[in-house]
Structure 1
Amino acid sequence: MDIIDDEIQQYAEKHTSQESELLKHINRETHAKVMRPRMLSGHLQGRLLSMISHMVKPKCILEIGTYTGYSALCLAEGLQPGGKLITLDVNEELEGTVRAYIAKAGLTERIDYRIGNALQIIPTLKEKFDIVFIDADKENYARYFDLVIDSVTLGGIILADNVLWSGKVLDEKPDKDTRAILDFNKKVDGDPRVENVLLPVRDGITMMRKIRQ
């Protein structure tokens, strides 16, 4: 199910700042060669991620779910001088491709790309994060939130992708992944440590601002 009409999507992209040539290349290559290309953030959401990052001016970003690296490169655009982005993924098959994109962007020293189980890696991280982007397996969204919330700076931003799940959040009999998204959305909405807004951009993205410890 497409949430947004294709023509509206195209109009929005037409009136949005353009992707870099490298991002356009990643977009094309992902759709041509990688399974499940809908997982890519894409032009419109990518520019939104970039704008949020520029507004926050983060020293440190955590991304949970790298895929082909498109969103990591977008988020990295707003990093402060000397800042870094840590991005986690379990897909070893894409590692070479992603590292090549990061190198082509000139960000090898600023993007710490790790392959492994995020549930195991996150507790080992000592950094404080100004932005966290959750875009991995849906059944663990709530666990990722619980793992990162204490490491987010006061006033920091947590973003969660696919929170409308192709409109399945409205299904009367939700499947397992949809139920996980529904539970996550309810959890976030009831957590006093954050204020939140669910944006119907692409497949839905929730923005949370940490307002108390």
Structure 2
Amino acid sequence: MIISKPDYFLENTGSTLVVIAVGFFCGTVAAIPMGLALAKVSWLERALYPFVVFLQAMPHISLIPVLIIWLGFGLFPTSILVGLSVFFPVLVNAVTGVRSTNERLYFVTRTMGSNALQTFRFIEWPTMLPYLLSSFRIALAAATTVAVVSEFLAANSGLGYAALTGVRYRDTVQVIAVVLITAVVGVILNTLSQTVENGVMRKYRS
């Protein structure tokens, strides 16, 4: 099936990868600064963290009807769902990473007259980075799953849509092909993430 319809599967795989990339980027960009804020401002954590947990506990797929009404079909609703799946693990690890910073290092930076930006660059960011890189691997796995599932209902392209088309026409081979492609995509993304993590950490250790 994959060999007989390569263009079809390549096109839909590309659509899913775009959804993963956009959702991962948006979720990460939102999670890191909020994680920094929650780690540093205790009252903000008390105010917002319960809401964040509630948002994570909510089945994200249940938001699809609302997102379809607001945004229609396609990239926007699916990437929002992927972004939500990425947001929580990155946020939690960002908070944990900042709070893992040795308090003595803060004393040193204050003694040397470092400002907040310098403290972040030289103290907090290197401490937080291993936690973020680990969270990216978890987030990418979740993003792949959520992207495909959301495409069942909220997209006109992608691997999820291809699987749904196979179900509609009782094409078992096509559905199995989508499952295999999704697994391969997940393995490739995990391998790339691990390679980047190893390379970055090797650079920081040196």
TM > 0.5 fold call: no
Higher helix residue share: 2
Q: TM-score, normalised on structure 1?
A: 0.21
Higher strand proportion, which one?
A: 1
Which structure is larger by alpha-carbon Rg, 1 or 2?
A: 2
